[in-house]
Chain A
C-alpha cells in the first residue's frame, strides 16, 4: 500500500465505515429501546460531528452496553463500540452517582461484604432492604444481588491449597477476579482442582485488583487506569520473572485486560497480552498440543446449553470452551444462538435499565426454555446471574463442568502427578 493510504488509518478504524448499517441489525439496545440512536449513529456517524464540535455529543450514548456486538458484526472492522466508549470518556461531564460508584467498586464493596457475609446476604435479600435500595439507590428491586461468600477465595486458597502448589512441574498464575473472590470461590476451587490434575501448580498474583470493567462502565476511568497498571505490573512479574502465564475464568475480565486496557484506557499491556488467557483456551491448547491428557468419568451425563457471552464473542474464543466441553463423553452440547442476555455487568442492576435489560434477554431466555438443558454454561459471571434469575436454570462455568466430569485420579496419573 502507498504511504498515503497507510497514513490515513484513524483511531478505531473510524474511516473504514462504509455506512452499510449492518451494525444496526445487531444492536441489542436499539432493538428494545427506541431512545438509543444505535451503533452507527452513536459511533461513526456521530463521530464525524463530534470531531468538528464536541457540542454534538449526545447523552444517549450512555445507553450503550459496550457489548461489542456491533464490532463483531461489522464487515469493515470498524471498532464502533470503542468509538462510543471513547466519546463518553471524552465528553461525558457528569460525575458518577453514589450508586454507580458503589456498583463499580467491586473490590471495596466485596471486601466489606464478605466480612459480614451472612448479614449482607440476609439483608440484601430482605424486601424492605430491596425497597430502600430501589428507591434510594435506584438499584432495581427485582434484582437479587449475588450472594457474598463467607470466606474469600484468596483466604481459602492460602489456608487449603497454597502450600502444595510448588510441588507441580508446571505453573500458572490465576487472576480470579472479584466474582470468584467474593461471591463464588467454588469456581476458583474447581480451577485449582483441574489445573492440579493436569500437573500445573496455581498461584495468586502478587497483587490483584478488579480488572476495572465496572469502573469503565460507570465513568471512573482514572481509578480503572490505576488498577490496570497494578494488574499489569503483577502480571509482568509473573510472566517474566516467574515464567508463569496468567489464566482467568472470566471472559469479561480477560477481554478488559487484553483489549480495553490498550484501546480505551491507554494502559500498556505489551508483553502480557499474549500470556494472558482464559483457562478453557489454555487447557484446550495443552490438550491440542498433546501436552496434557484428560480422563473422564464414565457415569457423567449432562445436557448443556452454551451461551456465548458478548465479550467472549468479541474475543472469538467461544470455540475453545465449546470444543473442551465437546471432549466430555456423556455431555450433550447445544450452542445457543448469538443473543445478549441483557445484564451487561452493572447495567442491568440500575433501576432505569431493568426493563431494557430484561427485554434484551427475552430471546435468549426463551431459547434456553426451549432447549430444556440440565445446565446453561457460559464464561461470564454476570450472564450467570441474569440467566439464573430470568430462567431458573442453573449456570456453570465450563471449568466447573470439567471439574465434575474429569476422573481426577486417572487424569493425575496420565499427567504424571503423584
Chain B
C-alpha cells in the first residue's frame, strides 16, 4: 500500500502532522497502536511553562533563550509565534475552540488545585490571568456524588489559598445513583456518557441552581461533553451563575474530546487511520526507510516518500527502558540517554529526573540520527524527541504540536 507520508503514532503530534499534510492534499496514513496520551490532557496546552523552576510569563521571549538541543531551538525561535498561531487555527478547524496567546501565558487550575502556566485552554474551562489570584472572590465548587477522580479538598484548599471564599456542595442525582452501581467506574468519561442525555443535564442544572446561591461563579469538574461540547453549553445556559469547568484526573473528558475531534477531522480530510495496529518492522536501506510492516497487515508492506516517527515517550512505548539501556524500539535510533544506568535517575522522585528528557537525537530539520548519520526520509516529532522535559518545563503539548507543524510545513513545501 502506497502513501505520500506514513506517520507512526496517532497521538497529538501524529494527528497534528497528519491533518496539516492531508489538508494540502497529501495521501497520509497514521498507524496508531492503541489510544494515546491525549486521554490524560487537562484541557490546556502548554508552550513553555517553566525555566529553572521559575514560571514563564512570555513564552516566546523565553524560548529564544533555550539551549540548542531543545526542539524549539531547532525550529528556530523566530518561527514559534507563527507556528503557535497555525496550531490554534488547526484546532479551531477541527472544532476545538481555545483561548490563549503564545506571547503571554495565562494560568490553568490543575486537578490538585494549583495554578500552572498555560498557552491555550479549551473554551469553558476556568482560568486565571495571575498565578496568585482568581477572577472571583466567592465561588461555589460543586462536586458530584460518588465521582472518584476529583480530590475536591485539595482543589478547595488551593482556591482558598488564592483568596477565594469557597463553598463545596455535593450534588446528588438519580442518574448518578444508577451509575454508582459500579462504584469503580465513576470516572469523568463515564459520567460524561450519563450527561449525553439532555434531561440529565437539566437535572444537574436544577441541582446546581439549588445548591449554589449568591456566588460569583460555579466551578464544576469537567464531566460533560463526551462527543462534542453541546452538553457543556447546555449546562451553562441553564445554570444561573456563570459556570466554568475544572480539569479532572484522567481519563479526562477534555482530552478524549480533543482526540476524537482531531481524528474525525483527519479522516474527513481523506487521511487513513490504522487504529489498533502497530509498526513491527521498519526496513532501512542506506540512509532511507524503504517500507514498514505492521502487526495487523503482516506481509502487506506500507510505503511512502516520508516517514514520521511520532511514537511518544516511555508511556507510549516510543522509548523503552530495560535493565540495560534506553532505546528507540522501531529503528534503534540514536538517543541522548546516558550509557550509565545510574545516571537515568537521581534522588527525589518528584524532582527533575534525567530520564524524563531522554529521547532520540535529530539534526536541525528533525531527521533522526542512526549511528551518527541522519535518515533522509524520516522525521521525528513530539515526545519521542530528546532535549526537553515536559514535566518540569511545561512544554509537552507545545513541542508535540509545533514540531509536528514544522515538519509538515517542510514536507508540504
Contact = CB atoms under 8 A, between A and B. Distances in A.
A24 B276 contact: no
A315 B35 CA distance: 16
Contact of B300 (A74, A285, A338): A285
A25 interface: yes
A313 B296 CA distance: 10
A160 interface: no
Interface residues of B, number: 44
Given A34-B182, A288-B300, A319-B274, A25 B34 contact: no
A274 to B, nearest CB: 7
Interface string B276-299: 111000000000000000111110
Residue among A1, A22, A337 having the largest count of chain B Cβ atoms under 10 Å: A22
A42 to B, nearest CB: 10
A75 B182 contact: no
B324 A2 contact: yes
Contacts of A44: none
Contacts of B347: none
A18 B37 CA distance: 13
B182 A76 contact: no
Interface in A1-52: 1-2, 4-5, 18, 20-22, 24-26, 30-32, 34-38, 40-41, 45
Interface in B170-199: 178-182, 184-185, 187, 189-190, 193
Contacts of B278: 77
B34 A24 contact: no
Interface string B303-328: 00000000000011100001110000
B322 A1 contact: yes
B1 A25 contact: no
B153 to A, nearest CB: 22
B34 A31 contact: no
B367 interface: no
A73 B35 contact: yes
Interface of chain B: mostly helix, strand, loop or mixed: loop
Interface string A329-370: 000000101100000000000000000000000010000000
Contact of A24 (B251, B275, B315, B322): B251
Contact of B322 (A2, A34, A288, A323): A2
Contacts of A20: 39-40, 250-251, 315
Contacts of A74: 34-35
B317 A75 contact: yes
Contacts of A338: 275
Nearest to B175: A34
A335 B267 contact: yes
B21 interface: no
A100 to B, nearest CB: 24
Contact of B1 (A36, A315, A323, A337): A323
B276 A314 contact: yes
B190 A30 contact: yes
Residue among B260, B297, B317 having the largest count of chain A Cβ atoms under 10 Å: B297
Given A75-B37, A314-B276, 11 more contacts: A2-B322, A24-B187, A34-B178, A71-B276, A75-B35, A75-B316, A76-B317, A77-B33, A77-B34, A322-B272, A323-B272
A-B pairs with the 4 shortest C-beta distances?
Answer: A316-B296, A72-B276, A75-B34, A316-B277
Interface of B: 1, 33-37, 39-40, 178-182, 184-185, 187, 189-190, 193, 227, 250-251, 256, 260, 264, 267, 272, 274-278, 294-298, 300, 315-317, 322-324
10 contacts: A2-B322, A5-B322, A20-B250, A25-B39, A34-B180, A34-B181, A37-B182, A76-B317, A77-B33, A337-B260
